[in-house]
Structure 1
Amino acid sequence: MSEHPADRHPSPEFPQQSQQPPGATGEMAPRPDHGEDSYRGCGRLRERRALITGGDSGIGRAVALAFAREGADVLFTHLPGEADDARETARLVTEAGRRAVPVECDIRYEEQCRALTDRMVAEFGGLDVLVNNAAHQMAQPDSIEGISTEQFDQVVRTNLYGMFWLTKMCLPHLSEGGSVINTTSVQGYHPGPHLLDYAMTKGAIVTFTHGLASHLAERGIRVNAVAPGPVWTPLIPATLPDTSEFGAKSAFGRPAQPAEMAPAYVFLASQDASFITGEIVNATGGAPLP
């Protein structure tokens, strides 16, 4: 039976909650839905090899789970404080009958990106899908005045440097017919003043996606992005001061769950999207984008 989108998942008011970055799934209320009980694969990524940054929780976990249930093996990154979440993602991938390789990696550092690429090639012999998903944000109510150089450096290095380095390093190993999928954001189009540095990087990802798609088309590699709106992930209680009304301003009066983002990544990674490159799939919950 069909269901009104507003009624599919919990709506605010949520319990006010706060965590230390990068946040943990198990401490969230309500618990995010990654598709554990709902996602059904049909072999669209059979025998593909995927690298997903930030695959331990949130959108990354949902994508890893969906890719595995579609037939892909998955290597994914996590930070040291995310080891528990990473084990759960690995369990979900393994239960789907696919290989899971969690790798502790901070993509802010070029040498760690190089080691990650080497690990991917050593484990799988190459890759077919690169998902640049890892990101960092930290809300600052004073907008630009509250953004320290340390914060700015962490946001830019995580969201842009890591994506740039990994894409560059992975390209020699990407198969013809392969796919690069970046995670941008509604913030890249409609920047909130409390997330100015984060929004700036997400706008840059849109530009990177368009430009790289044109460059790689002749090599048979597609480059696209997904632009989520508000999504209920550990990043929210770890980086925003008020979680009680998070997502309430979307057209459906609630935030998305990670499980609602994963099908867009599956589509872009699959041959169903073979004539699609340089596009941004907007999954914003009704916020109009250019």
Structure 2
Amino acid sequence: MTDAPDIPGQHQDKMPADEYKMDPAPDYTPRHPGVGKLKDKVAFITGGDSGIGRAVSVLFAREGAKVAIAYLDEDKDAEETKRLVEEEGSEALLIRGDLGVKDHATKAVEEAVAHFGKLDILINNAAQQWIDEDLTELSEERLRRVMDSNVMAYFFCTQAALPHLKEGASIVNTTSVNAFKGNDTLISYSTSRGASLAFSRSMAANLVDKGIRVNAVAPGPVWTPFIPGSMPDEMVEGFGSGSPMGRAGQPWEIATAYLFLCSSDGSFYTGQTLHPNGGMRVGA
């Protein structure tokens, strides 16, 4: 059983927020020695600078993958993730910019392929969220920003990656427990995660004959920069205590689902969703 750290009230007026400012720091560290499950693979990981993306980057590196880390503008977090990947004996390429802009998403994937020579894994993970309890107060600008980050970027990165993905390749899209149960204070975010779930299932059917597997991971409450970046102090304090396990998940606990789906362990999985959510019952 993982102990639940005390999470005090805190807020950052920034989305995405910065991991290095969080208290306590999220736990991204893999728990087991690598056994080469992703040896010689190349992964393109969006939002790889922090949170779940950082944990996935470090775990993939431990298992032998080289990683391209695409992120918006969190340079300090991204540099730290690069250092952590290199500490695992692997190589990281940092690619900065807005993946919700198709031209940048295309160039980012092409840069990764040019640098590493190939692409085997695409992790569409970067996203943004805000509290929006009252739909009438949700601005068009905010709504478009959520959809550009959480939906359009997934389309654009996948479009750019497909010409480089061969049989045996894997795509994993981050969705959310909120795509299944809804959330009255995260309306736009939950809607966007429903889109990423439908995208995953549709692309799985579309690509199965090409031998490319597409799956999704639907985390529950996880201690990442999303939380202080989108919630007021009083909502952050004790975050995750309402889950059946009585705590928030840590990024390392979520990253293992991505490893399973991208390695040969998950070779009979496509169009599926894994639910690391602390015991919440949702429709699969």
Aligned to 1:177, the other structure's residue is in SS state coil
SS in structure 2 of the partner of residue 127 of structure 1? coil
Identity among equivalent positions (%) equals 43
Secondary structure of 1:261 counterpart: helix
Partner of 2:45 in structure 1? 52
Cα distance in structure 2, aligned partners of 1:39 and 1:239? 32
Deviations for 1:122-172, whole angstroms, at most 9, x for unmatched residues?
111220000000001011232x12211011000001000000011011001
What is the aligned residue count? 280
Q: How does 1:135-146 map to 2 (within 5 A)?
A: 135-142=127-134, 144-146=135-137
1:61 to 45, 54, 58: 54
Residue type at the aligned position of 2:37 = R
| 4+ runs deviating over 6 angstroms | none
Residue 170 of structure 1 aligns with which residue?
161
Instruction: Give the AA of the match of 2:28.
Output: H
The counterpart of 1:273, out of the listed 255, 266, 281, is 266
Contact 1:11 1:248 in 2 (8 A): no
Residue in 2 aligned with 1:9? 3
- Hey, what does 1:238 align to over in structure 2? 229
Quote the offset at 1:246 in angstroms: 1.2
| Superposed displacement of residue 106, structure 1 | 0.8
Deviation string, structure 1 residues 3-56 (Cα, Å, up to 9, x no partner):
x3xxx13245x21101022211121111110016x3421110000000000000
- The match for 1:151 is 142
Contact 1:10–1:30 (Cα < 8 Å) also in 2: no
User: Which residues of structure 1 form unaligned runs of 5+?
Assistant: none
The 2-side partners of 1:249 and 1:237 are apart by 17
> Which residue of structure 2 aligns with residue 41 of structure 1?
34
In the alignment, residue 148 of structure 1 is paired with which amino acid? S
Instruction: State the alpha-carbon separation in 2 of the partners of residues 134 and 127 from structure 1.
Output: 18
Instruction: Check conservation: 1:126, 1:175, Cα contact below 8 A.
Output: no
Please state if 1:248 is matched with 2:241.
yes
Indicate the SS of the match to 1:176. Answer: coil
TM-score, length of structure 2 as denominator length:
0.96
- The superposition leaves residues 60-110 of structure 1 with CA deviations (integer Å, 9 ceiling, x where unpaired) of 000000000000000011122x10000010001111111100110211101
Residue 126 of structure 1 corresponds to 118
Other-structure match for 1:28: 22
Asked if structure 2 preserves the Cα contact closer than 8 Å seen for 1:54 and 1:135, the reply is yes
Q: CA deviation at 1:227?
A: 0.3
Q: Which of the numbers 92, 108, 127 marks the counterpart of 2:100?
A: 108
Aligned to 1:92: 84
Is the partner of 2:181 in helix, strand or coil?
coil
Indicate if the aligned counterparts of 2:100 and 2:156 stay in contact, CA closer than 8 A.
no
| SS of corresponding position for 1:175 | coil
Which residue is 1:258 aligned to?
251
* RMSD of aligned residue pairs (Cα, Å): 1.1
Distance 1:40 1:83 in 2: 28
**Structure 2 counterpart of 1:180, one-letter code:** I
Q: 1:248 touches 1:254 (CA, 8 Å); kept in 2?
A: yes
- 1:197 pairs with 2:188: yes
Q: Is the 8 A contact 1:86 1:102 kept in 2?
A: yes
Q: Distance in 1 between matches of 2:22 and 2:197?
A: 30
Q: 1:216 aligns with which of 207, 210, 214?
A: 207
What amino acid maps onto 1:117 in structure 2? V
CA contact (8 A) 2:8 2:238 kept: no
